[in-house]
Structure formats: structure tokens, C-alpha cells
A and B are shown apart, each in its own frame.
Chain A
Amino acid sequence: MNLTLKNLYDDFRDPKTIKALAELITQEAEKLDRPVNIMEVCGGHTHTIMKYGLKQLLPEKIRFIHGPGCPVCIMPKERIDHAYILAQQPDVILVTLGDMIKVPGSKGSLQQARSQGADVRFVYSPLDALKIARENPEKRVIFFAIGFETTTPMTAALIDRAEKLGVTNLLYHINHVTVPEVMRELIDSRDEHIDSYNNRIDAFIGPSHVSVIAGAKIYREFPERYGRPVVVSGFEPVDVMEGVLMLVRQFTQGRCELEIQYRRSVTMEGNLSAQRQIDKFFEKRELFKWRGLGNIPHSALKLREAYAHLDAEKVYGEQLPVEEIEDHKLCICGDILRGMAEPTECQVFGTACTPSKPLGSCMVSSEGACAAYYKYGDLLQRRSDR
């Protein structure tokens, strides 16, 4: 049989399977003596839950908290300003991925920079930046790299390929961030807000694509040290529902473990060769500011010193400001990214802040909680309403 894309998702959206899982979760949840708050760390899961209306199938006792796992949402204005300024340097082509070009910084979005004459291009794969660099030898091409563990190997592969081919007009502005550090921050921090939030997280659904690269092992500390079970799940509705069932069963059976739902590609160890390539080019930053969450130690990567000549942050150091910028006063993206507030609790949600004119980052990205709420609504909160 020829494997098509359709084969890859059809079974994972099978209505009978989804309904059967909903039934099993409901039966299992009846044994719970209190509600369970599950944080889906990744915006991809938020998107699935909203798009497929999964909340409507679940009993009252199962609650979702939307986490900080969207590479676009967590990008602070300072970094977007860097991209904006870099795009306007003479003879520069700024290249980045999808939604990033819509995010507003303090000076505007990359989309606005483009409308003012800057050469800003979005690509499907970082390797496309190499093609652009080779086709424009007289220009300097800057790849504005974003994303979690999932997209980091692609940036590493881009650097590796460019080095091997001797391409010298390609620079990098690295904004790769890592998942476990922000999860730890949410639980560990003694910040007044975050501490109160700490009492709300009971379990995590971990994103499968991160663990395809980094392995499920990155979450070991959460059940072991923090008493929070983690299930690494895929992004199809059946995956998310099965992940929830596995978590609920841990609670009813008195277990607290790291489990893998997405066994079709995730292992404990992950992709070791990708991890080696990441290590070759990148090292941890001391601090990285997350939009709405503040500075989190060791939560992002930068180019190693040996590649400083390729680092746009250093090459254009004099042009790039370092001052911190406050978010819009009315925007509560920070609380939403911490899971402390739901998008609908925001004063400007759907009025002054919409996907076509976003004030905050959670409304910009298709992975963002606000955008998902705005786009899909939340028609039937609970199955009992049906």
C-alpha cells in the first residue's frame, strides 16, 4: 500500500474512537475525588483542543490550562524589534518562519517593515534561507531563528550546510527556546502570582514533536521531583484524548509517572544525531526573557563563540537595543501564558485585540490561546450542555 498523508491522520480523527475515549475518560474521572488541572504546554495542543472542540467531550473534573509553548507568543518585543531593525539594514534580506512576520514589536511588525520597503521573506523550512543566500550573493541574508526543540535541529542543519558549502553571506539571529526550563519556572518560582498558579497545575501534556528530537527524558524531573505526571502526546484528536485518559488513569491508580502516548515516533532518548548537531553549534544562554513571563535562566540557546562571526546579534550589536520594553498595559498575555487567566477574561479580547489587529502575542500566532478562542469560540463548554 502506498502511504499517503491521508493515512497518517484519518484514523486519528475517527469519530468512533474519539467518542469511545471520551466515554472511558468520563468513567475513569468518576473515580476522582477532585478536579484535575492539566496544562497543555504546547500551543499545538491548545489549537487541537479548541479546533476539535475536545473540551466539550470531557467531564467537569477534567480542566485544561493553556501553557507557554508557542514560539511566537513568547517572543518579547525587544527581540521582534531586533528583527525589525535588522530587516531595515542596507542590503539585508530578513528570513523567518510563517506567523512570526505578523507579531507586533514596539516599532511594528515585520509585515509593516515589508510594506515600508524592507526585504522580509517567510520560508517553510530554514534550509530555504540557504537558497535565498546563494541566489543573492550581493546581499546579506539574516535568518531569524525561532522555535522550541522541534525547529532547532533545522537551524543547526542550515548552519552546517552553509558552512560546508562555504556560503558567507548568511547570518543568524538565534531565538531558540527550551521547554523543560519554562515548565520548571512555572512550578518553581516563588513569584506571588506564579506561586498561586503552582497550586493549580496537577499534570502536564508534553508535546510529541519536541520529544521526537529531545526524547521524553527531558520531562523525567516533573513526576520525580515535582510530583506532576507527564504524558507525551501527539497532536491529533485521538492522541490528545488518549493522553488525557492516560493521565487520569495515573491519578485514579495512584501513580505519578512519565509516559509516552505518541509511541509511533517518540522514544525516551530522542534523536541523538540531531542532539549532537545542536550541541555542535549552540550553547545555553544565561538568561532569556519570555514575553509575559520575564527572564528565565538557561531557557534559550545562542551560537557558540566559534560561530560569533555568523551571529547577527554580535555583527549588528551596535544597532540593536538592549533595553527592556513593557507590554501593552491592558494585555494579559503574561497571565494567559502562565495559565492564570483564560483569554476571555482579558478586557480587550475580541474588541481592541483581534487576529487582524493584535495587541498581544497570544492573539497573533495561530498557536496562541487567544487566537484559538477567538477563532473557534467555545460554544459548548461541557458535554452536559448538549
Chain B
Amino acid sequence: MKKTITLAQGNGGAENHALIKEIFWRHLGNEILDRGEDAAVLEALERPAFTTDSFTISPLFFPGGDIGKLSVCGTCNDLAMMGAQPRYLSLSVVIEEGFELRMLEKIVRSIKKELPHNDALIVSGDTKVVPRGTVDGLFITTSGIGERRCEGIGISQIQPGDAIVVSRDIGRHGAAIFAAREGMELESALESDCASLWPQVASLLEAGIKPHALRDATRGGLAAVLNEWAEANNLCIEVEEEEIPVSNEVRGICELLGFEPAFLANEGTFVLALDPADVPLALEILEAFPGGEEAMRIGEVKGDYPGKVVLNSPWGTRRFLDWPTGELLPRIC
């Protein structure tokens, strides 16, 4: 018989302690976590950055990752996008009664595997078990503290003339989740781009590149990042449709369902606004990472239509690339 999580394992008593010890501490243990205190006592960081994120995803396991990997990548990437090296994470897990213990262990192993890419540790955690039907399997919240390695990265630093670069092809996470969720029988090797981005950012900073802004294009995709940047600075970002890298698999799913690749989520793709002179070296550095051979300069910051993103087609027409809105639903015909 399958071993499943029971409400008793969230009671704060012996069963709860056993679950934490056998699953979480066993895989994620380190000097700070092992102390088992109410709060982690950390060494002081010089220029700290702090962030938090909750992860609810269906299905929990998808091609290219799972909720565990995602919960580490998501929070560490938010730190990396501020030029901060991820250091310490907290991990809060809400588990539905009846969840398979084997699956929980698989998720925790996946967390363990992703941490070293960021050089980060889980130093604090919490586990709750809730009655069946009150959550969809398992929810994770991770918070993270990082140490900034570069000053002056932020939305307000974007200026006219900046080049816009994407670190790899877009839309993979959203398309992979859609395909997995809807049981679309696609014969393709489409995987989520789910990955930690600190290694890329660290390499850029080490090479002396100082990006003006960085943003991982998660929910809302490339379109949301560009619109956020354009709106915040009242500048126009102009991108060339032909230069935006999209894999054939992602384009295929978009064609079938009437989506735009720029609206689909990514979990290991980021957008950079930087001095045009830095672009060749940045692309050379990004190319060394998985998927980075697709890294492209896709446009630049201008002033024509303040607060808007303009998309130029290969046949000379122009249109706005707007914010994605509402629930992504397939077109009817």
C-alpha cells in the first residue's frame, strides 16, 4: 500500500517531527538548519536583498522540472535579477492529506539538487498538513536572502538607447505546462526552461558587464516584462518580431491554440536592458549556458510611443505588443 501523508503528521507532535526529520532534514540539512532553533541565526550580509514567492502549479511534475525545483529557481532568480547572489532560503510547505510520501520525497530531492546551482542553503522551514480537498496536492512558499554583487541594477536605470536582449528562446515553461495539463498528445521534446539564473548573471558581472535592468520573464512572459519597463519609465520599447527567439515546438502550440509566445510564462529566461556596446560580450557569455545559443538582441529603448511596446514585423508593419490579460484561453475558431 502507498504511504500517504496524514493529518497527524502536521500535528506538531511526534509524527510531525518524524516527517520533518526523515524527509526535510535528511535531504536539506546543513549546519544552520540542523540546529533546529525557532529562527536561523545568520552571518551579517553587507548588501542584502530579500524576496518571497509562493508556488502552486498543476501538474506538480512537468517536463523539465517540478514544483520543488521551481520553488528554488523562482526565488533565487528574483534575487539574481537584482544582481544578488542567493544565500539563504526558507521553505514553507502546505501538504494535502493523502499526498504520497514518495512524491514528497521526490520534490525535496529536487530542491536539494537545485540549491548548489545558486550556492544557497535552506536555513528555515515549516510544514503544515491540511484536510483533503483544501489544497491541490502541495503548495510551497520560499523566501530568500541574497547579497548584491553589483549596485544600480533596477527598472529606473533603463534609458533611451538601451539594447534589449533575451537570454534564450521564450515561452517554453508556459507551453510545456499547457501541454502537460491538458494532456495534449504532442510528439515533441518540449521541456520547461525551468533553471537557476544566478550562474548566468554571475558570469555577466564577472566579465564587467553592468546591466541597467534584469527581469526573469515569468507569468505574463516577455510581453509583461517589456510593458512593465516601458510603463514605469514612460519610454517606448521597440522590438523586432523576427529577432525574438521561439522554438518550433512552442510556436506549434501557439498556432494550435491561438496564443502568442510572448505571453507565455518562462522559468529560466530573462530579459536584459543594457548599454548597446555590451551586447556582443553579453551574447557570447549567455551562449555558453543551456539554451543560451538562442540568446538574441531583440530591440531597443526609444521614445516614439511613451509607455508602450511596439512590435515591428518583418514586412514593415508595426503594432503594439500589449500586456497579456485575463486567463489564457484557446481561441474558438
Contacts and interface: CB of A to CB of B under 8 A. Distances in A.
Contact of B314 (A15, A54, A209): A15
A15 B312 CA distance: 12
Given A124-B182, A148-B333, A356 B315 contact: no
B111 to A, nearest CB: 32
B330 interface: yes
A204 B278 CA distance: 51
B15 interface: no
B332 A379 contact: no
Contacts of A53: 313, 317-319
A99 B329 CA distance: 6
B318 A56 contact: yes
A57 interface: yes
Interface in A351-374: 354-356, 365-367, 374
Contact of A71 (B257, B313, B325, B332): B332
A2 B326 CA distance: 36
Contact of B252 (A6, A19, A100): A6
Nearest to A238: B315
A377 B329 contact: no
Nearest to A378: B319
B38 interface: no
B123 interface: no
Nearest to A6: B248
A98 B331 contact: yes
Interface in A338-359: 354-356
Given A15-B314, A377-B320, A122 B256 contact: no
Contacts of B310: 379
Given A15-B314, A53-B318, A5 B251 contact: yes
Contacts of B151: none
B260 to A, nearest CB: 9
A19 B316 contact: yes
Contact of A111 (B255, B314, B316, B327): B327
Contacts of A111: 327
Interface in A3-50: 4-6, 8-9, 15, 18-19, 22, 44, 50
Nearest to A53: B317
B322 A375 contact: yes
B326 A356 contact: yes
Interface in B80-120: none
Contact of B326 (A4, A97, A237, A355): A355
A375 B263 CA distance: 12
B182 A5 contact: no
A147 B332 contact: yes
A5 B252 contact: yes
A150 interface: yes
Interface residues of A, number: 48
A365 B251 CA distance: 21
Interface string A226-257: 00000000000100000000000000000000
B326 A98 contact: no
A51 interface: yes
A264 B327 CA distance: 34
A89 to B, nearest CB: 22
Interface string B239-271: 000000000100110011110000000000000
A72 interface: yes
Contact of B317 (A56, A97, A356, A375): A56
B330 A124 contact: yes
A51 B251 CA distance: 16
Contact of A375 (B308, B314, B320): B320
B56 to A, nearest CB: 16
A121 B68 CA distance: 28
A147 B333 contact: yes
B58 to A, nearest CB: 14
Interface in B126-179: none
Contact of B332 (A22, A100, A237): A100
A386 interface: yes
A100 B322 CA distance: 22
B315 A379 contact: no
9 contacts: A6-B251, A15-B313, A44-B333, A52-B317, A56-B318, A57-B315, A101-B329, A124-B182, A367-B331
Interface of B: 182, 184, 248, 251-252, 255-258, 305, 308, 310, 313-320, 322, 325-327, 329-333
Given A5-B252, A52-B313, A376-B319, 13 more contacts: A4-B248, A6-B252, A15-B316, A50-B319, A53-B319, A99-B331, A99-B332, A124-B182, A365-B332, A367-B332, A379-B318, A379-B319, A386-B316
Interface of A: 4-6, 8-9, 15, 18-19, 22, 44, 50-54, 56-57, 71-72, 97-102, 111, 122, 124, 146-148, 150-151, 209, 237, 354-356, 365-367, 374-377, 379-380, 386
Closest 9 CB pairs of A and B: A53-B317, A377-B320, A15-B314, A5-B252, A18-B315, A15-B315, A376-B319, A98-B329, A56-B317
